[in-house]
Structure 1
Amino acid sequence: MRILTVILLLASTISFSAFANDNKADPKPNLLSFITSDNTQTQLMGMVLSLQALKQGPEVNILLCGQASDIALIDAPQSVLT
């Protein structure tokens, strides 16, 4: 009797979770890119890969940390631009 109760409980849990997922709208995937390197080629590659992902549909957010944040400055250092 105990085994039957456990089986019914598991079956109801599985069917409920499957039902709950069917009711949700299909969310767009998200991408968060962390760019932390001071190397300009690495920064550029992070931007290129983020752009390619954006063209395929997901929402893309880019977090610039440390010296990589210099590329977001209006008066960016010359080392960032070369």
Structure 2
Amino acid sequence: MTDDSGTQDEPVQDQHFQPDDAKAAGILMQQEADLAGHDEEHVLTALRQRFTDIGVHIDEDTLLAHAHRIASLRPNDFSKK
């Protein structure tokens, strides 16, 4: 939000609410695109970091399952980089 002087005094991210389920789905889709076929430990570390960054708690078993699934996906042109 801007005040009369035209300065922004609130974080932009506070303007749009997104449920945790939608945030988690977005992270998983992005990690699938970025890390398909990568080492499972690397994927797990990336997932932990991303979920920590957005403040969403995912239990360890679920994280392990997603890391295993993403690591076993066939790499695409982008995830090979």
TM-score when normalising by structure 2: 0.33
**Per chain length, whose mean CA-contact separation is higher, i.e. which structure has more relative contact order (CA < 8 Å, sep 6+)?**
2
Query: Which of these two proteins has the greater Rg computed from alpha carbons?
Result: 1
TM-score when normalising by structure 1: 0.33
